[in-house]
A and B are shown apart, each in its own frame.
Chain A
């Protein structure tokens, strides 16, 4: 029997600690396992007993890359429990905060973590030596995202200005003005980013994914929408638990999510794009077409192009919001606690992020449930490895290992968020 094991003990250029192992026998991939060994962090447990008003600040600490996503899912879940809907400029400012986070997070992944895979570098620093102008553009784009986060969130990472009902402080119109010129530059730079990424050499690999994402009546989704799939699922956020389940697998400290009675599914840029193409702004649609993307995209290696399209959209949407912004009369809507259960789902850069809370009549959190995107994507990552590695087996071991790592990085996995995650181990026998 001819076989090999591709094994990576600690995956680089992803957030958190994980590994993977692919076992190959007689040219056939027998198994592909993603192992997450970062210790669990018990956020759901230590939210219990805390005040509902603390939820945005506590959950922001789950992730250094997508803290605003945690804040947004958390405050929407609380507002759902308390019967409050935030509208108008406060709602727009939440979208603007999300634009900042998508720009920041997507650009870091595109330029520093994922592009080196396509251009043959060990990492972003090595790539910067040969492509300094491009890396400078990436860093300058990321900075625009950071500026939005700082202005609305109080600081670049782990924002402190978000609360149930709105914000602690809202910006004056004149404070948003300087962002306008910066964002016009960023929108042009994002369009260049789409063109640059579209020129990479992509493995021709497709999978028939079950895509799951939010869909809103008119907007490309950030904070609001129904949970839909390309297989007919169309549910309100509170119905999530009836349609999705989490299970423990021995190899991972992160729970695996599945469709109830079904299989794996995919959340994140590919799903969001494929389910919401027509909701992208005209300039983002045009850039996507120019980049050779259809209305849907089932090649996970092209996710880097889709991310770039989403960055373009985020810059465009941020400009739109700034143009129409009227200062709200108050920074937040006063809210009194009552007993209840609330549900929230928003689109983190990596995909759907679901929160559910039960609170007591005095506002104390009695139960918390958080389902991050990387948990939901774990099964799909393993299936990608199992499906695609077979086509790469003629590669030398180092190249094969690299291809496997690239396959995982397609997902921009956020292991720290998911633990409750990477090393490559390939066993060819």
Chain B
């Protein structure tokens, strides 16, 4: 599953039909459009797997299994102004636990924070593991991204693009 080469993965998390909750997916989609042009993806050694995910913890953890590097992007609701971006290096030994209850959660409240903390408890987090959290404003069914989150999505895609290019 992990193959011979280390897997490197970008995961955009969210529900595409719930307003700003789609922010993580929107970043993944944007990044997919940016990468082939600007990053040498043609050789497998350089490739990044860019994927979208609903955020269910067990499946998310399974997705990270065997990855050496992972960037995860998800919308959050922490009380900050809509569109606020936070970059959290969760693989750091000194990293505080990812706050639970601020990311979109799935059934049984098992979402991104639980996947990361479970991965940490099991010692199976990728050695480089970064979460980008985008503060959402509206999570209404069927709503588009709010303007502030759309702008943050573009900004995070740009930052990630620069991070992925860095060795």
User: B residues within 8 A CB of A65?
Assistant: 107-108
Q: Check B114–A125 contact: CB distance below 8 A.
A: yes
Provide the B50-69 mask, 1 if CB < 8 A to any CB of A, else 0: 00001010110110000000
A384 to B103, CA, bound (A): 35
Quick one: which of B58, B61, B62, B122 contacts A132, CB cutoff 8 A? B122
User: A residues within 8 A CB of B58?
Assistant: 108, 112, 139, 142-143, 146
- Given A14-B108, A15-B107, A65-B108, A129:B56 Cβ within 8 A: no
Q: Check B54–A157 contact: CB distance below 8 A.
A: yes
User: A residues within 8 A CB of B108?
Assistant: 13-15, 65, 108, 112-113
Q: Check B107–A125 contact: CB distance below 8 A.
A: no
* B96 close to A (CB within 8 Å): no
Q: Check B121–A132 contact: CB distance below 8 A.
A: yes
Cβ-closest chain B residue relative to A104? B58
User: B residues within 8 A CB of A132?
Assistant: 121-123
**Which size bracket describes the interface of A in this complex?**
20 to 34
Q: Check A156–B107 contact: CB distance below 8 A.
A: no
A143 to B62, CA, bound (A): 8
CB distance from A13 to the nearest CB of B (A): 7
Q: Check B56–A139 contact: CB distance below 8 A.
A: no
Cβ-closest chain B residue relative to A66? B107
Cβ-closest chain B residue relative to A109? B108
* A128 close to B (CB within 8 Å): yes
Q: Check A135–B122 contact: CB distance below 8 A.
A: yes
Provide the B116-129 mask, 1 if CB < 8 A to any CB of A, else 0: 01100111000000
* A136 close to B (CB within 8 Å): yes
* A64 close to B (CB within 8 Å): yes
User: B residues within 8 A CB of A112?
Assistant: 58, 108, 110
User: B residues within 8 A CB of A13?
Assistant: 108
Quick one: which of A113, A124, A139, A157 contacts B62, CB cutoff 8 A? A139
Q: Check B61–A128 contact: CB distance below 8 A.
A: no
**Which size bracket describes the interface of B in this complex?**
10 to 19
Give residues of chain A (369-392) contacting chain B, Cβ–Cβ below 8 Å: none
CB distance from B65 to the nearest CB of A (A): 9
A65 to B61, CA, bound (A): 17
Give residues of chain A (127-154) contacting chain B, Cβ–Cβ below 8 Å: 128-129, 132, 135-136, 139, 142-143, 146
Interface hub of B58, B114, B122 (most chain A Cβ within 10 A): B58
A13 to B110, CA, bound (A): 9
* A59 close to B (CB within 8 Å): no
A108 to B106, CA, bound (A): 13
User: A residues within 8 A CB of B56?
Assistant: 64, 156-157
A128 to B56, CA, bound (A): 17
- Given A65-B107, A112-B110, A156:B122 Cβ within 8 A: no
CB distance from A149 to the nearest CB of B (A): 10
Give residues of chain A (66-90) contacting chain B, Cβ–Cβ below 8 Å: none
CB distance from B15 to the nearest CB of A (A): 11
Q: Check B54–A136 contact: CB distance below 8 A.
A: no
* A416 close to B (CB within 8 Å): yes
Q: Check A128–B121 contact: CB distance below 8 A.
A: yes
Quick one: which of B106, B118, B123 contacts A125, CB cutoff 8 A? B118
Cβ-closest chain B residue relative to A64? B107
The 29 listed contacts between A and B (C-beta, < 8 Å) are A12-B109, A13-B108, A14-B108, A15-B107, A63-B107, A64-B56, A64-B106, A64-B107, A65-B108, A108-B108, A112-B108, A112-B110, A113-B108, A124-B118, A125-B114, A125-B118, A128-B122, A129-B121, A132-B121, A132-B122, A135-B122, A139-B58, A139-B62, A143-B58, A143-B62, A146-B58, A157-B54, A157-B106, A416-B107
By Cβ-Cβ distance, the 10 closest A-B pairs, closest first, are A64-B107, A128-B121, A129-B121, A125-B117, A132-B122, A125-B118, A15-B108, A142-B58, A65-B107, A125-B121
